[in-house]
Structures are given as structure tokens and as C-alpha cells.
Amino acid sequence: MSTEKLHPADLLSKVLPDRARDIEPGKLKSSTERLSDPAEALSLFSSFGGEGWICTASTSDIIRFSPSAPLAVGGGWPICGEAVKGKESLHLNRCDSGWELVTVSREDSNDDHDTILSSSFTAKGGGRLRYETYWGLADVAGQVELRPVGFRFVGFEPKKEG
């Protein structure tokens, strides 16, 4: 089957007809930095700014921050977190050799195969987290499949009144 005839946006719209308004052209690019020092990882994550959340070993709470209430973690052992500032997101993860900071940037589409699907999920303890998932066509053993290629955190969904 030729990938020239397949368009991820069309396929997603058919599979998820009630989500067609959440599908748009775009792509995500990422880069990863690995760090072995917890203070450096926390400092780089904190200096990114924006809106997001972080979990540290020093508390069982999820720490939420925003431009009007910046992240104020004075140290500790970061476990995971996500932040967004405009078209750029930063994902912090603990890994075997230390920490990974993954920067994910939203870019314009080069062709009609670059497709973004926006979603939101209920977080533990309430509130909703918003994400963008980049979908693409992949050749798997001669079979063309539509697969998620990457994702990024894009903020918190505003709380509904009432």
C-alpha cells in the first residue's frame, strides 16, 4: 500500500470522528540531555520556567507551578516532571544513569502527513493535563501503520465553573 494515498489526519478523523476538531497539521521534534547530578537536573528544569508540575523524593505531593507562581524547590531528588512554555515542552525523567531532560518543540508541518492530535487526561488527585501527540505513518514488516511518534505536555486544562 502506498503511503502517498494515506493521510494520518483523515485516518484519525475516521477512527475518532468526535475528535476531528482536535486534529491539526504539525510535528514534534525532540532532543535529550542526560545528567548525573540531581541538583543540575533540578536547576535546569526549574530555569525552564513556564507552567507545569514536578515530583521530588522529598514530598509525596505533586508540585504545580506557573509563570505567576514559579517553581520553588530548594533542592532534593527530582523524580519526574513536565513543563511548557509556548511551543516548547520540557520532560524530566529519572533513569538508570541519572536524569533525562527531553525538550520537545512543536513545528509547522512540512507535508500533509504531519499530524497532531490534542488530548487531555485526568490527573491523580483531580485536574486535567493537556498533551499533543504527533502521529505518523510507519512501515512495519511491509505493512503501513499509523502510529504515535511522540508527545508533549501543553499545560493544564482550565477548571470549569460550576
Confirm if 50 and 29 have CB atoms less than 8 A apart: no
Using only C-alpha atoms, the chain has a radius of gyration, in whole angstroms, of 18
Q: Note the pLDDT tens digit of each residue in 108-130.
A: 887 777 899 999 988 776 678 99
Would 138 be classed as within a structural domain?
A: yes
Output the nine-digit C-alpha cell for 55.
515530583
Looking at the domain assignment, is residue 110 inside a domain?
yes
Closest CA to 71 of 43, 93, 95, 98: 43
Residue 1 pLDDT greater than 90, yes or no:
no
- Our count of domains for the chain comes to 1
What digits encode the pLDDT tens for the residues 58-73? Answer: 888 889 999 999 998 7
> Does the pLDDT value for residue 36 go beyond 90?
yes
Torsion of CA 76, 82, 85, 88, to 10 degrees: 120
Determine, yes or no, domain membership for 162: no
pLDDT-derived band at 76 (thresholds 50, 70, 90) equals confident
In a domain, 47, yes or no: yes
- What is the pTM assigned to this prediction? 0.85
**Is 2 part of any domain?**
no
In which element (H, E) is residue 48 found?
Answer: helix 38-48
